[in-house]
Structure 1
Amino acid sequence: MAYKQTSQKFNAAINSVEIGTGNKTLALGGENVLPFYSFDGPILNPPRVGVEISDLGMNDKLAGMLNFYGDTQDVVELVKKASGMPGAEFICLVLDSADPDGENRSVEDCVAMVKSVEEAATLPLMVMGCGNTEKDTVLFEKISEALEGKNIVILSAKEENYKNVGASAGLAYGQKVGAESSVDINLAKQLNVLLTQLGVNNKNIIMNLGSATAGYGFEYVVSTMDRVKMAALGQNDTALQMPIVTPVSSETWSVKESLLEQEDMPEWGSRENRIIDMEVATAAACLAAGSNAVILRHPSTVEAISQMIKELI
């Protein structure tokens, strides 16, 4: 008997969220099929690939990074080069310098720097904070105000500061808001509900569900993303129909396989190859599980994942 393929059709869809303006505009989400199920229906907006840039410059002198960026440490120049990286579709600027336990760069200096980056970039911009909730809350408000009309993404509003970030970024200044939770479908849904109750349009919210490096409890990430997508599409749960963006590089560059030099573990081979392998494996798994965009760091990874997406859509 001949095999007859049955399409899995859903009456619901992931929200299509536009970021950037003019020729920088990019759409995330919008699909009503499972990840890469293009045989069940068209995927109008394929998964996107972003490049992470720290405002502290490029501290890891890997050959592939140096070959692409050169030896510049100027964040604006790094962003200009990243904007032309093969496969790159948006920039994610991380404000590491604002950390009170580090350089403790002032809010005013950070805002001025972000404005310069947005002007220099030819791709849409996402902004991540330093990880200090109190400092990030002030940063996000001032950056949202300074870049009003630029339609950037503020990553991320958390349970501790969603009221301030949602009110400033999402309501007062019209930016997109990233809702950050910790790999838990209930926490993700709760935060989305709280933001919408605050008044933020659900079409202006994206989710950062959190991640882990492949091999480090990653099966829980997969199961969470899978549950979110099935609830959004199969149960038409509007509180979970926001596109998912996953910062991959912050996880994969911090595990021992990526940190240890070849001299320390000669049997593991090249450290740079290990970093690329960890990024590629984790990013591919996140996309297959339901992420609509991944944030990466190494040029080889960005190109490889971008090519994978093209081959599968």
Structure 2
Amino acid sequence: MFKKTVQKYSGKINEVQIGTGEKAIKIGGQNTLPFYTFDGDTGNTPKIGMEIIDIYPENWIEALKEIYKDVCNDPVQWAKFVEEKYNPDFICLRLAGADPSGADKSVEECTKVAKDVAEAINVPLAVAGTGNHDKDAKLFESLAKELDGHNVLLLSAVEENYKTVAAAGALAYSHKVGAESSVDINLAKQLNILINQLGVKTENVVSNVGCSAAGYGYEYVISTMDRIRLAALGQDDKTLQTPIITPVSFETWKVKEAIESEKDSPQWGSQEDRGISLEIATATGVLSSGSDALVLRHPKSLETLRTLVEGLLA
């Protein structure tokens, strides 16, 4: 008689709550590999969020701008539209307008936008910065104060500004902090340790371990996430037992395969379909390797990934 072998792990991923009230979400909590329902507790269902930005999405492809044409000049209306029409688990507001290389909007102006969005929606909010470490430190310090009580996820604290972002977000105020590293298990581990040494509990940290669009080099993203999960579960490495969020849309909608026009490369087919396919392929890979939350941009990607997750966990 065949007896199925069960792989038991000593470690467990922390459970982290984002948001408040009935729509609050929990991520993590598993003690086995993604979707391995036959081996153990897979924890909370992976959550899928949608990206909006605080300024008109000038660099987005026309098909996406057409979807949001009636609301994308107003981030509050955009957020409400996405929540009501597509029902994501959370919304990720990317404060692109704060970028010093772009509109360079003031910290005060961007903070007000984020607060207005947080108060207009019921689902949890994640707020992403500009990638400029100095500006983001000031931005998240202000956001943490003004959004106190909303339990938002601040994306992200990096090595250059984690002291300000993590201290303001999770020590001075009650938020969750995203620890962002660049596709390297040692860097992810080191940043989690540094944030923990500030006094921030590991249970208040979500890791963004990096991503790239599916294609050349993508296997390194997958192998890094696999190594992180195996160390967290198999070696009970508590410094790596944080849930993982992956802002897939940030990477997939900027590569040539997604933005090349049909006029310039007609042989590649529909620009919109290419972007959706790339977003789905990238998201599927990181989900299967340990990501607990995704940020997507196209509604069809959201629908497809939601169906996939439901099917795998049915």
Asked whether the equivalents of residues 13 and 30 of structure 2 are also in contact (C-alpha less than 8 Å), the reply is: yes
> In 2, distance between residues paired with 1:211 and 1:157?
16
Report the CA distance shift for 1:128/1:67 in structure 2 as closer, same or farther (over 3 A).
Answer: closer
> In 2, distance between residues paired with 1:87 and 1:305?
13
Number of the residue aligned with 1:204: 204
> In 1, distance between residues paired with 2:86 and 2:31?
28
Asked whether the equivalents of residues 179 and 207 of structure 2 are also in contact (C-alpha less than 8 Å), the reply is: yes
Number of the residue aligned with 1:18: 17
The amino acid across from 1:28 in the alignment is I
Number of the residue aligned with 1:249: 249
Number of the residue aligned with 1:46: 45
> In the alignment, is residue 219 of structure 1 matched against residue 219 of structure 2?
yes
Number of the residue aligned with 1:36: 35
> In 2, distance between residues paired with 1:107 and 1:67?
29
Superposition pairs for residues 84-99 of structure 1, below 5 Å? 84-86=84-86, 88-99=88-99
What displacement does 1:23 show?
Answer: 1.7
Structure 1 stretch displaced more, 138-147 or 2-11: 2-11
The amino acid across from 2:37 in the alignment is S
What displacement does 1:67 show?
Answer: 3.9
Structure 1 stretch displaced more, 67-76 or 265-274: 67-76
Provide the aligned length of Structure 1 versus Structure 2: 312
Superposition pairs for residues 123-134 of structure 1, below 5 Å? 123-134=123-134
> In 2, distance between residues paired with 1:218 and 1:198?
33
> In 2, distance between residues paired with 1:172 and 1:94?
23
The amino acid across from 2:51 in the alignment is E
What displacement does 1:80 show?
Answer: 0.5
Asked whether the equivalents of residues 158 and 181 of structure 2 are also in contact (C-alpha less than 8 Å), the reply is: yes
What displacement does 1:214 show?
Answer: 0.6
> In 2, distance between residues paired with 1:256 and 1:158?
27
Number of the residue aligned with 1:278: 278
Report the CA distance shift for 1:228/1:72 in structure 2 as closer, same or farther (over 3 A).
Answer: closer
What stretches of structure 2 of length at least 5 have no aligned partner?
none
> In 2, distance between residues paired with 1:7 and 1:65?
48
Deviations 1:165-205 (A, max 9, x none): 11111100121010000000000000000000110000000
Number of the residue aligned with 1:297: 297
> In 1, distance between residues paired with 2:254 and 2:129?
18
What displacement does 1:267 show?
Answer: 0.7
Number of the residue aligned with 1:169: 169
> In 1, distance between residues paired with 2:218 and 2:299?
23
What displacement does 1:54 show?
Answer: 1.0
> In 2, distance between residues paired with 1:58 and 1:308?
28
What displacement does 1:256 show?
Answer: 0.6
What displacement does 1:55 show?
Answer: 0.8
Q: CA RMSD in A?
A: 1.4
Alignment TM-score, normalising by the size of structure 2: 0.96
> In 1, distance between residues paired with 2:310 and 2:4?
23
- Aligned-pair identity in percent equals 50
Number of the residue aligned with 1:185: 185
What displacement does 1:11 show?
Answer: 2.4
Asked whether the equivalents of residues 213 and 282 of structure 1 are also in contact (C-alpha less than 8 Å), the reply is: yes
What displacement does 1:7 show?
Answer: 1.4
Deviations 1:97-131 (A, max 9, x none): 00111111111111111110001122100011011
> In 2, distance between residues paired with 1:64 and 1:255?
15
What displacement does 1:65 show?
Answer: 5.5
Asked whether the equivalents of residues 209 and 246 of structure 1 are also in contact (C-alpha less than 8 Å), the reply is: yes
> In 1, distance between residues paired with 2:129 and 2:175?
15
The amino acid across from 2:3 in the alignment is K
> In 2, distance between residues paired with 1:50 and 1:198?
29
What displacement does 1:69 show?
Answer: 5.8
The amino acid across from 2:118 in the alignment is E
The amino acid across from 1:225 in the alignment is M
Deviations 1:25-75 (A, max 9, x none): 100100111011112223231111110111113433544653466464211
What displacement does 1:9 show?
Answer: 1.5
Asked whether the equivalents of residues 253 and 275 of structure 1 are also in contact (C-alpha less than 8 Å), the reply is: yes
Report the CA distance shift for 1:112/1:227 in structure 2 as closer, same or farther (over 3 A).
Answer: same
The amino acid across from 2:296 in the alignment is L
Asked whether the equivalents of residues 64 and 299 of structure 1 are also in contact (C-alpha less than 8 Å), the reply is: no
Asked whether the equivalents of residues 34 and 42 of structure 2 are also in contact (C-alpha less than 8 Å), the reply is: no
